C-alpha cells in the first residue's frame, strides 16, 4: 500500500493546513525550515494508520493505492479513521499491530548509528550538515565521560512529558473550542428559558390572585343576607360595647355596695322597730288609716269643688252678679259653694296635721 496524497488540517502545533501531493512510489524527500510541518506529516500518517496518541486530536485525509491497484480514501476525524472505496465505506487494510508502528520510522539518529552502513550514514550526515563532519571535530576536540548525555536524556524525557501534557491540554482546548457553538446555543436557550420563566411566574401570580379573588367572592356569596348590614366599623362598635359593659359592671358593683348598705340600714331599722311597742304601732296604723281616709275625702271634695269654681268663674266673667239667677245659680247654691270651700280648707288642715304627725 502506497501513499499518494496527504492533507493535514488539524494537529497540536499546526496552525494552517499542510498538503502533500503527487507522491511517487520511490523515496520522497520533504524539505523545509524548522516548524514547517515535516515531522507533523509523519505523525499524521502514523495517526491515520494506527490512531492518534492519547490526548491528541488529529484531522487529516489521504489517498492510498493498494497492492491490487484499488484506490482507498482515508479520513481521520479526531481518533477514528474512515476508509472508503469508490465512495463506499469499507473496512481498513490489514496492518501490523500498533506496537510495531515505530519499526517503520527511521530517524536521523538511526541513520547516524546504523551498523554496516557507515558510508551511507556518513554521506547522509555530511549532506545534512552542508559537507561538514561534526564527528571528527568532536573526536578531535572533546572527550566524553561515562555518564555523558544522561542529564540531557532526562531533560529530553521531561521535555517530552511536558510536550505531551501541553498537547493534551491543547487537545482539550480544541474540544472546548469545538463545543463553543453548542455552549453558546445552550446559553441562548437558557436566556430564553429565563425570560419565559419570568413571564410564567407573573402569569402564575396573576392566576393565584384570580383564584384567591374567586374564593373570596364565593365566601361572600355563601354568607347570609344579614351580612350585608355590616358597616365596617364593627370593631369600633365592639370596643364601645365593651366599654359600656365595663361601665355597667362598675355601676353594678356600686349598686351592690349601695344594696349592701341599704340592707345594713334596713337591718338597723328593723332593730329599731323591734324596740317599739305594739300599742305604739297600732296607734300609728290608726293614724295612717285616718290619713288615707282624709286624703280620699280631700280628693272627693276637690273633684266636687273644681266644677263649681270653674262654673262660677266662667259665669262671673260672662255676666254680672245680677244675672246669676238666670243661669240657675241661686243664693243657696252660693252658700253651698262657700260651705264646700270651708270644708275643703278644714280637710286640708287636718291632712297637713296628720302628715306632720306621721313624719314625726
How far is 175 from 263, CA to CA, in rounded Å? Answer: 109
In a domain, 229, yes or no: no
Say whether 81 sits in a helix, a strand or coil: strand
The whole-chain average pLDDT of the chain stands at 75
| Any domain includes 199 | yes
CA distances from 153 to 132, 162, 166, 220, 258 (A): 25, 14, 19, 93, 123
Task: Give me the sheet containing 80-85, strands edge to edge.
Answer: 18-20, 2-10, 58-65, 71-78, 80-85, 88-90
Domain contains 139: no
145 located within any domain: no
Same domain, 266 and 301: no
Residues 327, 250 share a domain? no
What torsion do the CA atoms of 29, 34, 38, 43 make, to the nearest 10 degrees? 140
Q: Are residues 7 and 99 in the same domain?
A: yes
Residue 346 vs residues 238, 310, 326, 334, 341: alpha-carbon distances, Å: 63, 21, 32, 18, 9
Kindly state the cell numbers that stand for 27.
523515496
Q: What is the DSSP string of 185-242?
A: HHHHHHHHHHHHHHHHHHHHHHHHHHHHHHHHHHHHHHS-GGGGG--S-HHHHHHHHH
Mean pLDDT in residue range 206-233: 78
State residue 62's pLDDT score.
94
- pLDDT tens readout for residues 258-270: 778 877 876 776 5
Q: What is the CA radius of gyration of the chain?
A: 70
Coil, strand or helix at 352: helix
Shared-domain flag, residues 293 and 209 = no
Q: How many domains is the chain built from?
A: 4
Which of the residue ranges 95-104, 112-121, 227-236, 237-246 would you say has the lowest mean pLDDT? 112-121
Domain that holds residue 316: 278-360
Is 71 inside a domain boundary?
A: yes
Claim to verify: residue 93 and residue 22 sit in the same structural domain: yes
Judgement on whether residues 207 and 262 belong to the same structural domain of the protein: no
Q: Within this chain, do residues 264 and 334 fall inside the same structural domain, yes or no?
A: no
**What pLDDT, in 10s, does the model give residues 129-171?**
655 555 665 555 555 555 666 788 888 889 999 998 988 888 8
The three cell numbers of residue 43 are 505523525
Both 195 and 177 in a single domain? Answer: yes
Q: Are residues 94 and 166 in the same domain?
A: no
The predicted pLDDT at position 53 comes to 75
How many whole angstroms separate alpha carbon 177 and alpha carbon 299?
A: 128
The answer to whether residue 236 sits within a structural domain is no
Mean pLDDT to the nearest integer, 308-337: 51
Distance CA 289, CA 297 (A): 12
Number of Cβ within a 10 Å radius of residue 62: 23
Instruction: Indicate whether 249 and 283 sit together in one domain.
Output: no
pTM, rounded to two decimals: 0.34
Are both 267 and 306 inside the same structural domain? Answer: no
Residue 137 included in any domain: no
Let me know if residue 32 belongs to a domain.
yes
Based on the fold, state whether residues 203 and 251 are members of the same structural domain. no
Amino acid at each position: 500500500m502506497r501513499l499518494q496524497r496527504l492533507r493535514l488540517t488539524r494537529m497540536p502545533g499546526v496552525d494552517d493546513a499542510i498538503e502533500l501531493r503527487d507522491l511517487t512510489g520511490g523515496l520522497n524527500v520533504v524539505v523545509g525550515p524548522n516548524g514547517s510541518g515535516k515531522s507533523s506529516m509523519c505523525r499524521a500518517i502514523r495517526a491515520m494508520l494506527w490512531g492518534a496518541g492519547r490526548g491528541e486530536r488529529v484531522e487529516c485525509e489521504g489517498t492510498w493505492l493498494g497492492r491490487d491497484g484499488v484506490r482507498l480514501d482515508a479520513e481521520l476525524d479526531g481518533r477514528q479513521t474512515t476508509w472508503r472505496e469508490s465512495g463506499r465505506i469499507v473496512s481498513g487494510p490489514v496492518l501490523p499491530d500498533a506496537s510495531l508502528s515505530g519499526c517503520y520510522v527511521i530517524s536521523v539518529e538511526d541513520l547516524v548509528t546504523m551498523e554496516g552502513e557507515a558510508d551511507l550514514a556518513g554521506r547522509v550526515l555530511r549532506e545534512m550538515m552542508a559537507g561538514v563532519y561534526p564527528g571528527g571535530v568532536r573526536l578531535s576536540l572533546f572527550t566524553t565521560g561515562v555518564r555523558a548525555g544522561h542529564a540531557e536524556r532526562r531533560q529530553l524525557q521531561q521535555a517530552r512529558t511536558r510536550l505531551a501534557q501541553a498537547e493534551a491540554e491543547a487537545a482539550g482546548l480544541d474540544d472546548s473550542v469545538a463545543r463553543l457553538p453548542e455552549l453558546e446555543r445552550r446559553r441562548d436557550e437558557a436566556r430564553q428559558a429565563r425570560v419565559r420563566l419570568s413571564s410564567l411566574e407573573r402569569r402564575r401570580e396573576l392566576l393565584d390572585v384570580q383564584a384567591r379573588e374567586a374564593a373570596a367572592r364565593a365566601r361572600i356569596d355563601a354568607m347570609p343576607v344579614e351580612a350585608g348590614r355590616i358597616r365596617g366599623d364593627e370593631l369600633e362598635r365592639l370596643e364601645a360595647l365593651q366599654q359600656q359593659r365595663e361601665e355597667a359592671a362598675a355601676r353594678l358593683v356600686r349598686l351592690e355596695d349601695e344594696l349592701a348598705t341599704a340592707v345594713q340600714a334596713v337591718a338597723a331599722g328593723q332593730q329599731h322597730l323591734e324596740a317599739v311597742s305594739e300599742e305604739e304601732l297600732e296607734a300609728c296604723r290608726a293614724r295612717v288609716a285616718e290619713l288615707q281616709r282624709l286624703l280620699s275625702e280631700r280628693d272627693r271634695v276637690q273633684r266636687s269643688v273644681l266644677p263649681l269654681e270653674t262654673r262660677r268663674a266662667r259665669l262671673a266673667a260672662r255676666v254680672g252678679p245680677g244675672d246669676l239667677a238666670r243661669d240657675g245659680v241661686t243664693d243657696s247654691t252660693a252658700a253651698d259653694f262657700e260651705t264646700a270651700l270651708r270644708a275643703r280648707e278644714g280637710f286640708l288642715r287636718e291632712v297637713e296635721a296628720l302628715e306632720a304627725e306621721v313624719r314625726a
